[in-house]
Structure 1
């Protein structure tokens, strides 16, 4: 299998974004805990544990994507964006994909579980929910997006729990999860709007109403509105200052404006702009939360 095939198999860009989210949350947790778990930000032990989280998170996410493609191999052959993946293209068998996915899942879960038990359990839960609940629901109901948003937001929670003593979930962990959870809806509906024609070839129903219509755009816009106060939770609860509050507000208003343009025009071009805006939104807000948290502390 070539490097390009492996990249397509594990959905490299998605896996990178997921791992990035977990790694930022881990550092926030270490800082919030005063270095009592793995040492301060200047500790070699802390960075070794961070590397373990990154590798484990990368493998677990790759495994979930791999299982998803094993299940959907026949459907992937129907869509232009997925037909060249190694399994639907015939360059890898589903048996090989299953073995590779299980191997990555076991190693990744072991690495995350070695940080603390709850981190390992959450990683297993995310694989099961993504591969065996979200994946089959995609052809049955738009509710799949809600189900998929849970494993989609779990990396932020997993990263934070990995940096806490005994896998503790606190207010900051829930805030990180909430931001990524609500972001998922706007992000995924923008993608679904752009790729709706391709998705329909495989029978996927992912837009809120199943169609590129006014109602789907309204629901997307409503979640973009919800994103504004949710993004300000770190400042509201005193875990961040004006830096993260200001940047989060600006990013959320830009996000809202892009969603409004989709509502106004109902055009694929507007959905594509919103989609690319979502790619920037999450890492910028998370990095500012980390930066503000460090400066404030």
Structure 2
């Protein structure tokens, strides 16, 4: 199997972003715990990478026939015929078992949440994408679990900090998802996916996207409000949230693909910067 096929199978860029958020949260949890165990951090990264890769692999197995219909996914290894469904299933199962074992060895809660994340993403969110825009709300749950998993892997307690990390990533996913859905709506419709709130590029969908950026503003300030972060993370979160809100507002006003792309690229920048600032601010306290 070629590396290019494997990277498409596991959705490498998405997997990297997910693993990154879990690793940042692990360091925050380690600070609460009083010490950073770097060996455990490496184990978390490997386990998180494998679990996320497994969930993405199962997703592609289930959607193999639909992937053939879309321009952006038709070259994935299974629909392109570079890999059989059975081969993908074996690879996915090995990654799921080994990844869950690694995370569970750090903390049983982390292992349980990993299994829950795979099941929710692959077997509920995936089929729901063709039935209702509610799929975005369902998908936001497993999408927000990585920082929670990373945190409890270091500090085995779901406390306020854990919930804040979960909440920021949960709310962030709505403008992120809807911006991508707006840009790729023509392609998604070829497979029958319904991810925009109204099912099409209109004022309703744009308003939902803009409203989600409004909600993200106070949520992003929770670390500072509760005293877990200082003015640095608060200031950066405020500035980025205002820019994000502006991008969402422009999508609502213009309702074009260019504005949706701006919001989408803004989402790629927003989350890692806010998480890193939370980490640096928290470590400095």
Establish whether TM, by shorter chain, passes 0.5.
yes
1:26 matched to 2:23? The reply is no
Q: CA deviation at 1:160?
A: 0.3
Q: CA deviation at 1:129?
A: 0.1
Task: Write the deviation string for residues 221-279 of structure 1: whole angstroms up to 9, x where unpaired.
Answer: 11100000000000001100000000000010111000011001000000001001000
Counterparts of residues 130-279 of structure 1 (less than 5 Å)? 130-164=121-155, 167-279=156-268
Q: CA deviation at 1:95?
A: 0.7
1:57 is aligned to 48
1: distance between equivalents of 2:272 and 2:22? 11
1:75 matched to 2:66? The reply is yes
Q: Which SS does the other structure have where 1:82 is aligned?
A: coil
1: distance between equivalents of 2:218 and 2:42? 33
Q: CA deviation at 1:295?
A: 1.2
Task: Write the deviation string for residues 145-199 of structure 1: whole angstroms up to 9, x where unpaired.
Answer: 00000000000100000011xx211000000000000000010000000000000
2: distance between equivalents of 1:188 and 1:222? 13
2: distance between equivalents of 1:295 and 1:113? 29
Task: Write the deviation string for residues 196-226 of structure 1: whole angstroms up to 9, x where unpaired.
Answer: 0000000000001110000000011111000
2: distance between equivalents of 1:235 and 1:32? 16
2: distance between equivalents of 1:68 and 1:229? 33
Task: Write the deviation string for residues 125-150 of structure 1: whole angstroms up to 9, x where unpaired.
Answer: 00000000000000000000000000
Which sections of structure 1, spanning at least 5 residues, go unmatched?
A: 36-40
2: distance between equivalents of 1:182 and 1:116? 26
TM-score by length of 2: 0.99
2: distance between equivalents of 1:94 and 1:146? 28
2: distance between equivalents of 1:110 and 1:245? 36
2: distance between equivalents of 1:60 and 1:171? 25
TM-score by length of 1: 0.95
Structure 1 residue ranges, 4+ long, deviating more than 2 angstroms after superposition: none
2: distance between equivalents of 1:32 and 1:267? 45
Q: CA deviation at 1:96?
A: 0.6
Q: CA RMSD in A?
A: 0.5
Q: CA deviation at 1:32?
A: 1.5
Counterparts of residues 79-158 of structure 1 (less than 5 Å)? 79-158=70-149
Which sections of structure 2, spanning at least 5 residues, go unmatched?
A: none
2: distance between equivalents of 1:34 and 1:257? 39
